[in-house]
Amino acid sequence: MSVKIIICRESEPPFAPDAVVVEDDTQRVLGADPVARERYEDVGRALERAEAAEPEEPGSILVREGAPVTFHAIVHDLESEPSWSEAWVVDALYRVLGEADRRQLSAIAMPILGAVHGSLETRRFAQLLRSALCEARLEQLEKVWLVAPAGSEAGDFEALREFDLELRLQD
Partners of residue 64 on adjacent β-strands: 70
* Phi/psi of residue 76, nearest 5 degrees: -130, 145
Q: Under the phi-then-psi rule, with left for phi > 0, alpha for psi from -120 to 50, and beta for the rest, what region is 114?
A: left
Q: Is the pTM here over 0.85, yes or no?
A: yes
Q: Kind and range of the H or E element at 127?
A: helix 122-135
pLDDT, tens digit only, all 171 positions of the chain: 589 999 999 988 999 999 999 999 999 888 876 555 566 677 777 667 656 778 899 999 999 999 999 999 999 999 999 999 999 999 999 999 999 999 999 999 999 999 999 999 999 999 999 999 999 888 999 999 999 988 889 999 999 999 999 998 865
